């Protein structure tokens, strides 16, 4: 990227995958579902799966520092090629010694290729054979991003896991557009496969195909044939109702190899993650924990609730009984509610700590139950106790419905929507700079505040 012309082809410089058999260890498969207990090996250490990856789009997991992330057990976090290439720019990150050194995070990083952002955030001028010409959402500069550029950016960032450059259409895109997106995704996966990598960098392929089972199979077979280090399921968390999201996952997983890690991009709510684990997914990322925290919404094993509400005014217990996060060990709901209501930064930090810890603890619980052979009963109890938001319930009742919430849904409920795309529906507070930045975490539909 950062050039309006495609990079010249590089001949024969592909950095092929290494000893793949050792890259992902499948430790145990659940006897009553497709759930898997495993371990992904990266150059910066192992990642036990199923795992949740906190999202650090702009070289930071919003409101949390690396020490806090390590203490709550985060093993791998996300960064984003599109955003980091625009700001601060690759020259800065190269001079800093790579993304890890720049942001003070020494554990594994997975980087998004930028395809999702280009197709959702930027103003596209033209889609070429080898990439996309578009204008920056920040300053309107004319840029070009394709498989070669995306892999070069990720090479400079020095991420441990790089994602191929793909096309992620809207969930309700017409069939012809979905087919073209799959064709481009496959072609670009070939090109990504041939690009040089950072030392020890893994590269994951991405399967598109929307809700079309045949397209999913076609794309999965073609991408798996390229023998990537892992496989992601894209084209989910882009506005589709929950039943279609599960259908897309179920249409893809059977065509992914058992001996490679599987990553569902941008998903999901806690109950959805449990269900996706049961469908054979190993890796997850989602902006929900930190994003809804900034609106004062907390995750619990029974669903979400708004700490700002009057009910918490004199509640001097923790956000959730039994939670071992720093916020719950030291502060009460009443205190955090007060901080939020007077716009003190510590309030949103404490809720961010709790929410991110909640997701990471959920994954620890899932892994423990998989190891003990009790995952199925855990799954049943967790999903039965977790109260979904009204919007999730609506999308279950009518799977053809679009995700845009009806106007009469209270704002706090909208913001605890299905997954990364949903949380972009609420209009941002124009005075909240952090909120605006997060609007660009992932894809979705223009304008900028409808991104993920």
Q: Is 328 left (phi over 0), alpha (psi -120 to 50) or beta?
A: alpha
**Catalytic: 139?**
no
* Contacting residue, 328, 363, 418, 422, with Zn ion by CB under 5 A: 328
Residue 363 has which token pair? 């994954």
**Residue 85 or 350 with smaller CB distance to Zn ion:** 350
**Residue 362 or 443 with smaller CB distance to Zn ion:** 362
* Contacting residue, 291, 333, 337, 354, with Zn ion by CB under 5 A: 354
Catalytic residue chosen out of the listed positions 48, 160, 285, 438: 285
CB 340 within 8 A of CB 347: yes
**Closest approach of Zn ion to the CB of residue 300, in Å:** 9
Q: How far apart are CA 183 and CA 222, in angstroms?
A: 10
**Residue 176 or 329 with smaller CB distance to Zn ion:** 329
**Which residues ranging from 384 to 443 are in contact with Zn ion (CB under 5 A)?**
none
Q: How far apart are CA 266 and CA 206, in angstroms?
A: 13
Q: Is 325 in the site for Zn ion (CB under 5 A)?
A: yes
**Closest approach of Zn ion to the CB of residue 352, in Å:** 11
Q: How far apart are CA 65 and CA 179, in angstroms?
A: 42
**Residue 61 or 223 with smaller CB distance to Zn ion:** 61
* Contacting residue, 1, 244, 278, 323, with Zn ion by CB under 5 A: 323
Answer positive or negative: Cα dihedral of 215, 218, 224, 226: negative
Q: Is 362 in the site for Zn ion (CB under 5 A)?
A: no
Q: Is 444 left (phi over 0), alpha (psi -120 to 50) or beta?
A: left
DSSP letter string, 194-216: TS---TT-EEEEEE--TT-HHHH
For the chain, how big is the Rg over CA atoms in Å?
Answer: 21
Stretch that binds Zn ion, among 104-112, 185-193, 316-324, 340-348 (CB under 5 A): 316-324
**Closest approach of Zn ion to the CB of residue 60, in Å:** 21
Stretch that binds Zn ion, among 53-61, 159-167, 189-197, 328-336 (CB under 5 A): 328-336
Catalytic residue chosen out of the listed positions 48, 112, 160, 282: 112
**Catalytic: 48?**
no
Residue 238 has which token pair? 């882009």
**Closest approach of Zn ion to the CB of residue 354, in Å:** 4
Q: How far apart are CA 5 and CA 250, in angstroms?
A: 39
Nearest Cα to 137, choosing from 121, 119, 160? 121
Q: Is 75 in the site for Zn ion (CB under 5 A)?
A: no
Stretch that binds Zn ion, among 246-254, 318-326, 379-387, 430-438 (CB under 5 A): 318-326
**Residue 147 or 289 with smaller CB distance to Zn ion:** 289
Task: Please count the helices (runs of H) and the strands (runs of E) in the chain.
Answer: 18, 16
Enzyme catalytic residues: 112, 285
* Chain residues that interact with Zn ion, rule: CB under 5 A: 319, 323, 325, 328, 354
């Amino acid at each position: 990227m950062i050039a309006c012309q495609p990079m010249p082809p590089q001949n024969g410089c592909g950095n092929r995958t290494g000893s793949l058999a050792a890259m992902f260890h499948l430790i145990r498969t659940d006897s009553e579902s497709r759930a898997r207990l495993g371990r992904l090996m990266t150059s910066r250490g192992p990642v036990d799966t199923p795992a949740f990856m906190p999202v650090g789009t702009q070289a930071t997991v919003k409101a949390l520092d690396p020490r806090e992330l390590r203490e709550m057990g985060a093993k791998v976090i996300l960064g984003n090629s599109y955003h980091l290439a625009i700001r601060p720019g690759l020259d800065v990150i190269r001079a800093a010694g790579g993304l890890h050194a720049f942001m003070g995070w020494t554990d594994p990083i997975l980087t998004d290729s930028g395809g999702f952002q280009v197709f959702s955030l930027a103003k596209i001028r033209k889609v070429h054979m080898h990439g996309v010409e578009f204008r920056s959402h920040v300053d309107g500069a004319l840029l070009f991003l394709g498989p070669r550029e995306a892999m070069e950016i990720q090479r400079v960032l020095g991420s441990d896991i790089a994602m191929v450059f793909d096309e992620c259409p809207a969930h309700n895109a017409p069939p012809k557009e979905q087919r073209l997106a799959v064709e481009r995704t496959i072609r670009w996966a070939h090109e990504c496969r041939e690009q040089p990598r950072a030392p020890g960098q893994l590269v994951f392929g991405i399967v598109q195909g929307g809700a079309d089972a045949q397209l999913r199979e076609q794309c999965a077979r073609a991408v798996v044939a390229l023998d990537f280090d892992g496989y992601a399921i894209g084209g989910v968390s882009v506005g589709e109702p929950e039943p279609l999201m599960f259908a897309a996952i179920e249409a893809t997983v059977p065509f992914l190899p058992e001996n490679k890690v599987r990553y569902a991009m941008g998903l999901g709510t806690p109950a959805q993650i449990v269900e996706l684990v049961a469908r054979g997914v190993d890796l997850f990322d989602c902006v929900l924990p930190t994003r809804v925290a900034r609106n004062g919404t907390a995750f619990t094993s029974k669903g979400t609730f708004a700490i700002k509400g009057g009910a918490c005014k004199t509640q001097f217990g923790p956000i959730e009984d039994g939670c071992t996060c720093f916020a719950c060990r030291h502060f009460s709901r009443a205190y955090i509610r007060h901080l939020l209501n007077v716009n003190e930064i510590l309030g949103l930090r404490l809720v961010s700590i709790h929410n991110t810890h909640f997701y990471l603890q959920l994954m620890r619980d899932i892994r423990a139950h998989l190891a003990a052979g009790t995952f199925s009963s855990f799954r049943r109890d967790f999903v039965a106790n977790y109260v979904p938001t009204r919007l999730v319930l609506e999308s279950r009742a009518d799977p053809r419905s679009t995700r845009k919430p009806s106007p009469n849904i209270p704002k706090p409920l909208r913001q605890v929507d299905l997954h990364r795309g949903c949380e972009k529906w609420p209009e941002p507070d124009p005075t909240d700079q952090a909120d605006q930045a997060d609007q660009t975490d992932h894809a979705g539909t223009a304008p900028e505040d409808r991104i993920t």
